[in-house]
């Protein structure tokens, strides 16, 4: 097993001292924009990754269990369509559990989990390698919002990109097309893509999935402020903010925001921003697609001959498409 992951910091000094300046500048620029926002990647530090795992277990968050049900019902068909002995590249792998469920039928020659939450990924892969010692595993810590390419140690034959959970919905549509096109460029004509898509449905179901009764999603969103404090050395007070989720009909997307409870000023290094009561930081989008629109997007990015499987209510789809 090869771990392309930086070593753990030697002490608990603020992450601002070890975070690349480009990351700090990107985050600072977004916080100082006319309408403050952050990239959703900052939701996924070690704590955020654990909280997201918890979100996947709550009743309101249907995507995980619905997608899992599709795989359980149609896994034999999916495996037959893909064929065995692929190079399985797991995008946003998290705890690696979703990909591990595919191992018994896909029999991958190499497993390549990729995630931005580096320490969390490292721990997950080390546990997984103990269960599947016969599968070569090469874990990578990558940020998909930055230019990236797979290293030479990743087998180029029959690359299967696995992107479950409708994470593609976090991209703006134009960014999604660029991202999918990049995946196509990283595989030969024998490659493909296995991806989960959250489909358009009634708005109440959508909003409740991102604003659960237990407040797990709220904790996940609010943890972003703690992460920003570590990166920038900022002084966000989590208690001065509340979680807010809504469905934007015009753009067919769920939006997550953090809303200031009171007027206050946040400072870091030589910068500061004064937030008015009710002012928001836009933290995440999650676009919802029709099946037709997503298949068209795949084709425009260089994937085709698509096969898809849905649940009985057509809430979610799993799509396999080949590189053209």
Proportion of the chain above pLDDT 70, given as a percent: 94
Cβ distance 62 to 69 under 8 Å? no
Here the contacts of 243-248 (C-beta below 8 Å, separation 24 or greater) are 243/211, 243/215, 243/217, 243/218, 244/211, 244/280, 245/207, 245/210, 245/211, 245/217, 246/207, 247/203, 247/206, 247/207
pLDDT tens digits along 145-197: 788 999 999 999 999 999 999 999 999 999 999 999 999 999 999 999 999 99
Cβ distance 232 to 269 under 8 Å? yes
Phi, psi of 211 (to 5 degrees): -150, 70
Tell me the domain boundaries of the chain: 19-58+226-287, 62-201+288-323
The CATH architecture annotation of domain 62-201+288-323 reads: 3-Layer(aba) Sandwich (3.40)
Number of Cα atoms under 13 Å in the Cβ half of residue 240: 18
What local confidence, expressed as pLDDT, does residue 21 receive? 80
Phi, psi of 3 (to 5 degrees): -115, 105
Q: Which residue has the tokens 């997950």?
A: 124
Give the pLDDT band (50/70/90) at residue 259: very high
Give the pLDDT band (50/70/90) at residue 12: very low
The DSSP bridge partners found for residue 253 are: 248, 287
Phi, psi of 124 (to 5 degrees): -65, -40
pLDDT tens digits along 289-312: 999 999 999 999 999 999 999 999
pTM, two decimals, is 0.88
What local confidence, expressed as pLDDT, does residue 17 receive? 39
The DSSP bridge partners found for residue 303 are: 323
Q: Is the pLDDT of residue 15 over 60?
A: no
Give the pLDDT band (50/70/90) at residue 143: confident
């Amino acid at each position: 097993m090869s771990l392309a992951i930086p070593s753990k910091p030697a002490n608990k000094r603020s992450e601002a001292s070890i975070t690349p300046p480009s990351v700090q500048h990107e985050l600072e620029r977004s916080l100082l924009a006319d309408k403050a926002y952050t990239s959703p990647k900052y939701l996924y530090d070690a704590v955020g990754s654990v909280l997201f795992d918890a979100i996947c277990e709550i009743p309101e968050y249907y995507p995980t269990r619905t997608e899992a049900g599709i795989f359980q019902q149609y896994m034999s068909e999916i495996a037959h369509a893909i064929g065995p002995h692929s190079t399985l590249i797991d995008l946003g792998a998290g705890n690696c559990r979703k990909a591990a469920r595919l191992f018994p039928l896909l029999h991958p020659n190499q497993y390549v989990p990729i995630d931005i939450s580096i320490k969390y990924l490292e721990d997950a892969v080390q546990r997984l390698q103990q269960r599947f010692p016969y599968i070569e595993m090469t874990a990578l810590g990558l940020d998909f919002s930055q230019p990236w390419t797979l290293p030479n140690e990743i087998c180029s034959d029959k690359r299967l990109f696995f992107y479950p959970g409708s994470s593609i919905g976090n991209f703006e549509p134009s960014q999604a097309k660029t991202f999918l096109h990049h995946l196509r460029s990283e595989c030969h004509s024998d490659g493909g893509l296995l991806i989960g898509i959250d489909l358009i449905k009634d708005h109440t179901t959508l909003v409740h999935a991102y604003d659960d009764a237990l407040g797990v999603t709220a904790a996940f969103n609010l943890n972003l402020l703690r992460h920003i404090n570590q990166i920038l050395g900022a002084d966000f007070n989590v208690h001065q903010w509340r979680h807010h989720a809504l469905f934007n009909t015009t753009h067919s997307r769920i939006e997550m925001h953090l809303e200031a409870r009171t007027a206050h000023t946040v400072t870091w290094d030589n910068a500061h921003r004064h937030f008015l009561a009710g002012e928001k930081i836009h933290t995440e989008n999650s676009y919802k697609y029709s099946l037709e629109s997503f298949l068209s997007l795949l084709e425009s990015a260089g994937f085709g001959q698509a096969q898809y499987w849905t649940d009985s209510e057509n809430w979610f789809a799993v799509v396999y498409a080949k590189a053209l």
